[in-house]
Every structure is written in structure tokens, then in C-alpha cells.
Amino acid sequence: MRLLVTGGCGFIGSNFIRYILEHYDPEYVTNVDALTYAGNISNVAGLAARYGERYEFFHADIANADLMDELMRKHQFFAVINFAAESHVDRSINSPQNFIHTNVVGASVLLDAARRHGVRRFIQVSTDEVYGSLGPEGLFTEQSPIDPSSPYSASKASADLLALAFHKTFGEEVIVTRCSNNYGPFQFPEKLIPLMAINAIRDRPLPVYGDGLNVRDWIHVEDHCAAIVAVLLNGRPGEVYNIGAETEMKNIDLVHAILKHLGKPKDLIEFVTDRLGHDRRYAIDSAKIRAELNWKPLRRIEEALPATIDWYLANREWWEKLVP
């Protein structure tokens, strides 16, 4: 079967393409990416040479209806997996329009083209941020109300609702996944873990928002990729599946762990003015996907975080091109 993976030069999308090509033969993947700031063609370097006709790249904006129509007319895709998104909260505060263009208009274009060209399945890859902020107790379930706090999370919530409406209105086999914070190789350096690791490697200040006590639920990107495959193959259309590893950490504790692994002093930490609308805590209940699809995370952060930091140590040439 052939898959259309949008945003496949980004962090999660590129890891997904590598995962599916390595573990599932003979799947074919078409990667569509506009190559904006976080879409890095070097994230998929070597795939064409290694996998030949099983992999192809198409440079395009998913909000361009003509190009998406042309692409879906060319191939009979089994599924669209939509990773394409502007995803950084700070950038969404400064420029909401870019997020609406890609995350809402782009999703709408893809859904419509997929429906018209007979695509069997559509996986809308979303985020736990659509639920807003949790108090000190409890977990987000698939029944938790949507309560986004930023233009980014609002745009993702909009795309989720639009996707589910396509299922109800047109019978399209749409499934929405909402995942907790990812970490792993090829993550754009503005995100928390690579930013802290790279700054520590360079002995530069580590900017921590507010008091650093915001809590996030972390999952390794390959565990996320495995969950998406499970949803793609066996998920129920019209459903939402939460994906998480039940690994909550305060931001400041995560930063301390990075410094400890690198042997760097804590006085590199620099507390900065908190982000506008900064959600206090996220935590995912992934009981549904575990029970229905027999998925579970395999990587514990105690081992996977040091391995991730070591990846950034070993791949300076990758991130030195992205950060001055």
C-alpha cells in the first residue's frame, strides 16, 4: 500500500517515515513537505538511496488545493497521515495566521482531496494541548473537553473537529490521535529538550519559563510512531486515541537531568518571563489505545533521554546549520 505522509521532513513525520519503511515492507511512502523553517530535508537524507521507489518526496504546501489534487490523482493512496503543522506555541502567539493557514486550511484541503480521490483512511495527528491545562490531579481522556490556550492549540483543535466532521458527514475513515510531548532525534532546536541540550553543550544560558514547575508528559518519538501505525491499521474510524507514556516531569527536573548527563552546572539555568497563556500541566490517559490496539510504549525516559542527548552530541553538523 502507498501512504501519503504530510510534514514528513519535520521531527515526528521524518521519524515516522523511517519507522514505517524499516518495519513494514513493502509499504510505499510519498512525503509532502513545504520545507518551512522546521521542515528540514536533511531529516530524510539517504531514504531515496536506501529504499528506491518505495520512497518519494514532493515539495508542496498542503493548503495548495491544485497540487494536492494533482498528487492524489497520480497515486491511489491507502491513507493520508497528516503530520504537517506549524507547531511552536511562541510562534503562534507572534503570528497566528501562519498556523491557521497550515493547520486548519491545509487539513481541510487534504480531507477534501482524500475524499474525492478515494483515499481509504485519514489519520489526523494532533496534540494533547487541545485539552488545555490540567490541575495537579487527573488525566486527559478522549472525553475531556477541548479547551485550547494558544493559537497553536486552537488551530489543532479546529482541524480535529473538521476531520471528525468529515467522518460524520461523508463517511470518510478519519481517526484523530492526540499525543503528549515527544522527544528523540531530529527535533527542531527551539523545542525544550534539544534547546536545553544544545545550549548546555555550548555552555550558553538555558532559558526556563516562569518557575519551571510546568509539568509535561513525555513519550519517545518511536513509541509515538508505533502507536500511529497501530491506529492506521486497526483503529476505529471516527474515534480519537490519546497516546502517552505516563511519564510526567516538571520542566525544571528535565533541565536538571540534561545538565547532569552532560556534566554541566545548574547555574547555566536562566529563569525568564513566562509564556503567555502557559498551560500548567498535561498528562495523558492512554488506556483506550492500550486496550483496543494492544499498544504500549517501550522506551523508558531514564534510558531514552540520555540517548537522545547523546544523539545531539554526535550530530552537531545537523543542528549547527539550524542555530547560530
Question: Of 28, 51, 55, 152, which one is the catalytic site residue?
Answer: 152
CA distance 270 to 96: 27
Q: Which three cell numbers stand for residue 97?
A: 495566521
- Give CATH for domain 2-183+221-245+279-300: 3.40.50.720
Residue 129 catalytic? yes
Residue 174 has phi, psi (to 5 degrees) of -95, 140
pLDDT tens sequence across 12-40: 999 999 999 999 987 899 999 999 877 89
Range 19-33 burial, b when 16+ CB lie within 10 A, else e: bbbeeeeebbbbbbb
pLDDT tens sequence across 134-158: 988 999 999 999 998 888 889 999 9
The 3-class SS string of 22-39 reads HHCCCCEEEEEECCCCCC
Q: What is the pLDDT of residue 307?
A: 98
* % of the chain at pLDDT higher than 90: 84
Contact 284, 243 (CB under 8 A): yes
Query: Which strands make up the sheet holding 215-220, listed edge to edge?
Result: 181-183, 215-220, 248-250
Question: Of 33, 61, 86, 128, which one is the catalytic site residue?
Answer: 128
CA distance 89 to 158: 15
Contact 309, 261 (CB under 8 A): yes
CA dihedral (12, 18, 19, 21) positive or negative? positive
CA distance 275 to 279: 9
The residue assigned the cell 486515541 is 241
Residue 128 catalytic? yes
pLDDT tens sequence across 298-319: 999 999 999 999 999 999 999 9
Q: Which of 54, 59, 144, 155 is nearest to 107 (CA)?
A: 155
Where in the chain are the domains? 2-183+221-245+279-300
Q: What is the pLDDT of residue 39?
A: 84
Q: What is the pLDDT of residue 84?
A: 85
E strand intervals along 185-282: 206-209, 215-220, 240-243, 248-250, 269-272
Q: What is the pLDDT of residue 266?
A: 97
Mean pLDDT of all residues in 55-63: 96
pLDDT tens sequence across 93-146: 666 677 788 889 999 999 999 999 999 999 999 999 999 999 889 999 999 999
Contact 180, 244 (CB under 8 A): yes
Question: Comparing 201 with 92, which gets the higher pLDDT?
Answer: 201
Q: Which of 160-164, 175-179, 234-238, 280-284 has the lowest mean pLDDT?
A: 280-284
The DSSP code for 274 is P
Contact 128, 244 (CB under 8 A): yes
pLDDT at 87 over 70: no
Q: What is the pLDDT of residue 90?
A: 62
What rounded mean pLDDT belongs to the chain? 94
Residue 274 catalytic? no
Q: What is the pLDDT of residue 317?
A: 94
Contact 214, 281 (CB under 8 A): yes
Rg for the chain, CA atoms, rounded: 19
Question: Of 86, 129, 172, 285, which one is the catalytic site residue?
Answer: 129
Q: What is the pLDDT of residue 162?
A: 97
pLDDT at 204 over 70: yes
Q: What is the pLDDT of residue 56?
A: 97
Q: What is the pLDDT of residue 78?
A: 97
Q: What is the pLDDT of residue 96?
A: 64
Q: Which of 163, 160, 78 is nearest to 117 (CA)?
A: 78
